[in-house]
Structure 1
Amino acid sequence: MDKLQEKKSNAKAAYIKARNEWENIRTIEDIKGDFEKWKAFCERKRDCILLGVRI
């Protein structure tokens, strides 16, 4: 059970980090930002969803 909680907390921390990195590179002209950052953000979000982490 502790390993699951650790995985969940690590996944949420990675999601927050990826979200912040993606948000920092977006501009008014380029609202989507960098594709690689967007892809990493989506992968971290998917990891959270698979583990049942509420985001």
Structure 2
Amino acid sequence: MAKVCWTQICSPKEKGGARVVNLAIKNKALLAKWKWRFMVEKNALWSKVILAMYSTSVQQW
């Protein structure tokens, strides 16, 4: 089995890659999306639940 670097695997097929999604980048993007929604949707039920469950760590945001 040939060893290939992760950046090669994540590159588009046109550039010789396998078009695999880089999960580290995807994870950071999704976390940023949830943080943004938490700040914007303060009256949403899910936001209130998160605030009630993790009120000590959420105040640091």
TM-score clears 0.5:
no
* Higher share in helix: 1
Which one has the largest radius of gyration?
2
Q: What is the TM-score when the length of structure 1 is the normalising length? A: 0.41
Q: What is the TM-score when the length of structure 2 is the normalising length? A: 0.38
Q: Which has the higher contact order (CA 8 A, sep 6+)?
A: 1
